[in-house]
Chain A
């Protein structure tokens, strides 16, 4: 089984990211990943699982999620219903304990990868409720009075979009990595693994136009890697020639199919205005 991660054939990991993953795997600490939306935070966990050949358990956190749901839930309502109907299953409380993702990961035969996605969406107290579980990799089921302990310490990858600050006690137990927005060189590599054999001319023009859009001051939502990839997919599907992307093309005011890059009408408007002013200035 592979033990070192350095990206996969579909995922370019920079050296510092690879090192972050390897440090987390070696020391058995959770890895907290932050970064701009669309830089592949969630994707990382899937790719790590694939590269190292481990099963993956995904726990997607929502604003209503409770830490307890990741461990287990006691389905009191169906037990109540069964009791009214006289079902024989009622006698054993274990029939009504529903396992959460963390429990499933703890039971895994080989060391699994556990993704806790968007932990900042949950309540402020959520991470605090997981401290002991992440530290000792065990928890207690009160209903059945049993202790669940991880067979293999899972590789835990946690993503956050920075909507809430995470508590210090929680942070102290994690390694932290911030995925920086890739530079043009890395970006070319990323595009290459997704669309191998893309014409050099188109790639260069597309990247140029993309970074130009990204650097427009005052954009509400800057386009990110995933948006660039979508855009290139569209360009390929529509068979747009590289010349059409050049910014000094007088016919087009903004890049074709810009809907994939700019996601709200104020941004499109702002960009159009800037391009217009730019041309007048020339």
Chain B
């Protein structure tokens, strides 16, 4: 019963481990949760979920799992899934873990009791009685009766309230796809930091001083060293205008976060896709341009490149010479993109459009292929993946 719940949680993307599962069983055995479905819900969440972003997923699995429990119980009594349950557990658990579980009571015995109790409860249920109150004697017992607590929801006010707790899905907003603020973005970008000691030596190097003094037979020998500074270099290429207007606040937030986070930050703008020219000032974009070749010459391959754009356009703008909506481009956008990816091995594309929509837009698919799949959604979770991709050493 609970083992299935455990695997359902895992497949729903809640990262639960055996240790946590055992902790839950231990807590049930220690009678921390006593008598209500609500308490069991709290305890299970306390032990199994370690991040409020996963609360919503947990709530959904919990509701689904324990609402459909009736069918499961019948099947269990029919003795088919018992073996399945056991074999599943044997396949997945290591001998040590099995021994741990067996310390709580042997598998056979647990399953046997469980089955007996289920049969008993089934009978009483048909008799029109409530199932609640029979469980709570074994690690499984609590799981066994708790689903009942849900299903007989209309029988007692307490259980009805309990159902609401996980069905109201109050933690929906905490799921990963939440909006980003500058601070969140900064915290995410911070992972790109790469510290190096450069410049004037103006910080006391305590360890160095101690070692030098010791070598000096105890006479003080002060050592200084330069301060640690973030040495990562970032080049930001931002898509402006057109369909990007919808995402302007998000891009602003990203820009201001990046600006305060990196000392070596350069940025350029482009429209829809990269061609011969980029610019730094949107008001003077036609007067003051920087050639893309010049940009490639100026910045070496040490720079991490973050491109931001929705990549939503006509595919011709990418693959055809002269496809640009603004000017006649001699070479296709895809050629320019290939130059960029060849020059900067560490490059990602952040897309403010939701990831689910990508596969319906051919130009997004095209762009994704061009940059070798390194396109990530502009969410906190996507930014995490992007920084991880940027930190990866280029294969050379």
Contacts and interface: CB of A to CB of B under 8 A. Distances in A.
B170 interface: yes
A172 B220 contact: no
Among the interface residues A29, A34, A166, A172, which one has the most CB atoms of the partner chain B within 10 A? A172
Interface string B5-46: 000000000010101100100110010110000110011001
B50 interface: yes
Contacts of B170: 180
A111 interface: no
Nearest to A22: B32
Contacts of A22: 32
A23 B32 contact: yes
Given A27-B30, A27-B32, A84-B220, A171 B51 contact: yes
A23 B218 contact: no
B325 interface: no
B20 A26 contact: no
Contact of B49 (A80, A84, A166, A176): A176
A83 B214 CA distance: 12
Given A22-B32, A175-B46, A29 B220 contact: no
B50 A171 contact: yes
Contact of A84 (B30, B39, B46, B218): B218
B206 interface: yes
A179 to B, nearest CB: 10
A175 B55 contact: no
Contacts of B210: 76, 80
A76 B210 CA distance: 8
Contacts of A15: 38-39, 42
B158 to A, nearest CB: 11
B52 A178 contact: yes
Nearest to A25: B32
Contact of A20 (B15, B46, B191): B46
A124 B187 CA distance: 11
B47 A23 contact: yes
A32 interface: yes
Interface string A164-181: 111010011111111010
B52 A34 contact: yes
Contacts of B26: 27
B213 interface: yes
Residue of A29, A168, A173, A178 with most chain B CB atoms under a 10 A cut-off: A178
Contacts of B39: 15, 19
A26 B32 contact: yes
A124 B191 CA distance: 9
A175 to B, nearest CB: 5
A272 interface: no
Contact of B42 (A16, A26, A29, A84): A16
Contact of B46 (A34, A177, A180): A177
B17 A19 contact: no
Contacts of B51: 165, 171, 176
B353 to A, nearest CB: 23
B27 A163 contact: no
A88 interface: no
Interface string B255-281: 000000000000000000000000000
A31 to B, nearest CB: 8
**Interface range, B side:** 20 to 34
Contacts of B171: 178
A27 B46 contact: no
B3 to A, nearest CB: 18
B52 A26 contact: no
B206 A20 contact: no
B49 A19 contact: no
Interface string A232-276: 000000000000000000000000000000000000000000000
A32 B50 contact: yes
Contacts of B52: 34, 178
Nearest to A32: B50
Interface centre among B42, B49, B170, B213 (most CB of A within 10 A): B42
B172 to A, nearest CB: 13
A26 B50 contact: no
Contact of A23 (B43, B55, B191): B43
A198 to B, nearest CB: 28
A266 to B, nearest CB: 13
A84 B49 CA distance: 55
A77 interface: yes
A26 B46 contact: no
A175 B32 contact: no
A84 B210 CA distance: 13
Interface of B: 15, 17, 19-20, 23, 26-27, 30, 32-33, 38-39, 42-43, 46-47, 49-52, 55, 170-171, 183, 187, 191, 206, 210, 213, 218, 220
- Top 5 closest pairs, chain A to chain B, by CB: A171-B50, A178-B52, A23-B32, A16-B42, A176-B50
Given A19-B46, A163-B187, 11 more contacts: A19-B32, A19-B43, A20-B46, A26-B32, A27-B30, A32-B50, A76-B206, A165-B51, A168-B50, A172-B17, A178-B52
Interface of A: 15-16, 19-20, 22-23, 26-27, 29, 32, 34, 76-77, 80, 83-84, 124, 163-166, 168, 171-178, 180
9 contacts: A15-B38, A15-B39, A19-B32, A20-B46, A23-B46, A84-B220, A165-B51, A166-B50, A171-B51
